[in-house]
């Protein structure tokens, strides 16, 4: 529990936390930061020291209120016009039954959207935006979302599953749950840590990196245990 408490504390301070999912899942470690605190230097760290795909999670209530579909649903809808897309359905994932990918977005004040500053603006504003629409209706929330953000863009949104860690144990749900347990927006920005040998960074090397850089390293099973043992008390929507 000591690592969990430190992870929650670091997230609230805008610090990076390392989260390993599980030996029987992706076997990957993600760099994680609460979206509302992301700065250009954080994007640079994720880009250079992690090296995977930078994505931003949305808690279930948020993506539903904003009407953000899963990317798989968009592709299925496009199959009527482009029937060959049926052959590309992601129905053979070795570690999951469904991808969490939703839309890709840029903030409207970005230029290309890919620079560290542009991505930091998109992510941090999204984290704040989620809190701002907490008491707004769907129509107003969606109108405000379209006014401030555009799609496609350079930030990949991940839709967290209903029930979070009651139903799915991916990095999307693990880190969203961490954010909520820390009393934050529920949105995290994450990036897989890649090794130099062509594969994901090993758990041992990720743990060593955490020690060398002063980051907390926590495993998914620790987050799941805390979630199921009452750490989610007081969280209104999962």
pLDDT in tens, 70-114: 999 999 999 999 999 998 888 787 776 678 999 999 999 999 999
Tell me the C-alpha distance between 58 and 52, whole Å: 19
Active-site residues, by number, are 30, 55, 95, 106, 154, 192
Tell me the C-alpha distance between 198 and 71, whole Å: 27
Q: What is the pLDDT of residues 197-237, one digit of tens each?
A: 999 999 999 999 999 999 999 999 999 999 988 766 556 55
Q: What are phi and psi for residue 30, nearest 5 degrees?
A: -110, 140
Q: What angle do CA 185, 237, 12 make, to 5 degrees?
A: 25
Of 69, 62, 53, the closest CA to residue 132 belongs to 62
What order do you get walking across the sheet with 29-34 strand by strand? Answer: 101-107, 149-159, 55-58, 188-192, 29-34, 17-20, 217-219
For the domain covering 2-231, report its CATH number: 3.90.870.10
**What pLDDT is recorded for position 235?**
62
Residue with tokens 């245990």: 225
Tell me the C-alpha distance between 237 and 117, whole Å: 31
**What pLDDT is recorded for position 22?**
86
Partners of residue 69 on adjacent β-strands: none
Structure confidence at residue 132 as a pLDDT band (50, 70, 90) = very high
Of 48, 52, 27, the closest CA to residue 158 belongs to 52
Q: Are 20 and 7 in contact (CB under 8 A)?
A: no
pTM of the complete model: 0.93
**What pLDDT is recorded for position 93?**
75
- Per-residue CA distances from 208 to 18, 23, 26, 55 (Å): 11, 17, 19, 24
Q: What is the pLDDT of residues 34-78, one digit of tens each?
A: 999 999 999 999 999 999 999 999 999 999 999 999 999 999 999
Structure token pair of residue 1:
């529990």
């Amino acid at each position: 529990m000591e690592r969990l408490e430190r992870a929650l504390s670091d997230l609230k301070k805008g610090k990076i936390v390392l989260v390993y999912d599980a030996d029987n899942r992706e076997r990957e470690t993600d760099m994680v930061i609460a979206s509302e605190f992301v700065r250009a230097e954080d994007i640079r760290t994720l880009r250079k020291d992690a090296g995977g795909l930078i994505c931003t999670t949305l808690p279930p209530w948020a993506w539903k209120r904003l009407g953000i579909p899963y990317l798989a649903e968009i592709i299925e809808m496009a199959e009527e016009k482009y029937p060959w897309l049926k052959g590309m359905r992601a129905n053979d994932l070795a570690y999951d039954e469904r991808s969490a990918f939703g839309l890709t977005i840029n903030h409207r004040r970005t230029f290309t959207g890919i620079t560290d500053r542009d991505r930091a603006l998109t992510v941090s504003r999204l984290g704040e935006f989620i809190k701002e629409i907490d008491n707004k209706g769907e129509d107003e929330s969606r109108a405000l979302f379209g006014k401030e953000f555009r799609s496609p863009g350079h930030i990949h949104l991940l839709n967290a599953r209903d029930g979070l860690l009651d139903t799915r144990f991916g990095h999307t749900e693990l880190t969203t749950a961490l954010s909520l347990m820390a009393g934050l927006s529920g949105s995290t920005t994450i990036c897989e840590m890649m090794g130099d040998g062509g594969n994901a960074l090993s758990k041992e090397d990720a743990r060593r990196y955490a020690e060398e850089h002063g980051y907390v390293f926590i495993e998914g099973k620790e987050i799941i245990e805390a979630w199921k043992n009452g750490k989610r008390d007081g969280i209104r929507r999962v």
